[in-house]
């Protein structure tokens, strides 16, 4: 279980997170929605310790994440970055197999490559892309390679930062199914950031909406449509007018 309590984070005068409280139960899929620039990516980075939060506590299974030993902690996670964040000096398959070929339980190269190709197939990429460099791929393909890298070592917790942004609707459907499958079949705890309401409905067990630095609303997916919360209603129906300013 991941629990956040009163998490604050500012960048200079820009107060991004202003007391985030949120819990994600083990083996469930939490989707974070919210306008762009509200700090969704920063929230994930705080949990991973890539960004140090200013105040509040973040715990994983009851342990404060800022006090745990980093290597075993990070080994439990997979992360798809918003921009893919592929290593452009490495081939696609080396990106996917990056963790598999390093550290304690490292695999021999040909075995790691086999797994990488298998993971690429799961995100809808042919083995032909394995030997290309990231710069040779389209944005959507890079995103999927990033996804393959996030799931490659079969971590128990996976963060997906906008997994379907930039994908065509069919491919987005494939990725939504994949994320759902990973949660249901492998018991993974997932946290997904998305703007895509189709994705939300396909992936989420519960939903949280981040707005103005706090969790404006959170609840099970079934309660999303019925909630009277005006922020949520404006967001899920994509209305220009409502409590959320269109100019931010």
Partner 1 sequence: MTPAGALAGIGRPVLAALASLGRIAIYAAQTITHLVRPPFYPREFLTALMQVGWLSLPVVGLTALFTGGALALQIYAGGQRFSAEAVVPQIVAIGMVRELGPVLVGLMIAARVTSSIAAEIATMKVTEQIDALVTLSTNPMKYLTVPRVLAGFLCVPLLVAIGDIIGIMGGFAVGTGQLGFNRASYIQNTVNFLEGSDIITSLIKGAVFGFIATVIGCLYGMQSGRGAQGVGAATKNAVATAAILILAANFILTSVMFGQ
Ligand X SMILES: Nc1ncnc2c1ncn2[C@@H]1O[C@H](COP(=O)(O)OP(=O)(O)O)[C@@H](O)[C@H]1O
User: Residue numbers of the site for partner 1 (CB under 8 A)?
Assistant: 45, 48, 50, 70-71, 74-75, 77-79, 81-83, 85-89, 98-99, 102-103, 149
Q: Where are the alpha helices (DSSP H) in the chain?
A: 40-48, 70-75, 92-96, 109-122, 139-152, 169-186, 197-203, 230-237
Task: List all residues 6 or more positions away from 67 whose beta carbon is below 8 Å from its beta carbon.
Answer: none
Burial zone of 244 (CB within 10 Å; 0-12 exposed, 13-18 middle, 19+ buried): buried
In degrees and rounded to multiples of 5, residue 189 shows phi and psi of: -90, 125
How many residues does the structure list for the chain? 248
For ligand X, the closer of residues 34 and 146 by Cβ is 34
Among positions 22-61, residues that touch Mg ion (CB under 5 A) are 41
Return the number of the residue (226 or 245) whose C-beta is nearest ligand X. 245
Binding segment toward ligand X, per CB under 6 A, in 11-19, 84-92, 183-191, 215-223: 11-19
Among 37, 103, 108, 220, binds ligand X (CB under 6 A): 37
Of 72, 43, 75, the closest CA to residue 156 belongs to: 75
The least distance separating ligand X from the CB of residue 42, rounded to whole angstroms, comes to 4
* Span near ligand X by CB under 6 A; candidates 38-46, 61-69, 121-129, 180-188: 38-46
> Sheet of 214-220: strands edge to edge?
77-80, 157-161, 189-193, 29-33, 206-211, 214-220
Decide whether 135 or 240 has the Cβ nearer to partner 1. 135
Other CB atoms closer than 10 Å to residue 238's CB: what's the count? 9
Comparison of 203 and 209: residue with beta carbon closer to ligand X: 209
| Residue 99 contact partner, candidates Mg ion, partner 1, ligand X, none, CB within 5 to 8 A by sort of partner | partner 1
Positions 68 through 97 that interact with Mg ion (CB under 5 A): 82
Distance CA 72, CA 183 (A): 21
126 near ligand X, judged by CB under 6 A? no
Q: Which is nearer to partner 1, 88 or 225 (CB)?
A: 88
By CB under 6 A, name the binding residues for ligand X. 11, 14, 16, 34, 36-42
């Amino acid at each position: 279980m991941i629990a956040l309590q009163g998490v604050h984070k500012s960048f200079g005068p820009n107060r991004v997170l202003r007391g985030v409280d949120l819990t994600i139960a083990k083996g469930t899929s939490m989707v974070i929605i919210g306008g762009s620039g509200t700090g969704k990516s920063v929230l994930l980075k705080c949990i991973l310790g890539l960004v140090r939060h200013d105040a509040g506590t973040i715990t994983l299974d009851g342990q404060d994440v800022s006090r745990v030993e980093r290597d075993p902690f990070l080994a439990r996670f997979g992360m798809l970055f918003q921009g893919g964040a592929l290593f452009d000096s490495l081939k696609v398959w080396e990106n996917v197999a990056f963790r598999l070929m390093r550290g304690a339980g490292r695999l021999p190269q040909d075995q790691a490559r086999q797994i990488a190709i298998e993971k690429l197939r799961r995100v809808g990429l042919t083995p032909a892309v394995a030997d290309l460099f990231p710069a040779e791929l389209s944005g959507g393909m890079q995103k999927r390679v990033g996804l393959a890298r996030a799931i490659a070592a079969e971590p128990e917790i996976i963060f997906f930062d906008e997994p379907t942004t930039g994908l065509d609707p069919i491919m987005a459907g494939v990725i939504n199914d994949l994320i759902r499958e990973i949660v249901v079949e492998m018991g993974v705890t997932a946290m997904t950031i998305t703007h895509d309401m189709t994705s939300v409905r396909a992936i989420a067990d519960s939903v949280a909406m981040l707005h103005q630095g706090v969790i404006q609303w959170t609840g099970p997916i079934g309660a999303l449509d019925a909630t009277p919360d005006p922020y949520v209603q404006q967001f899920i129906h994509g209305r220009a007018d409502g409590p959320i300013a269109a100019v931010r």
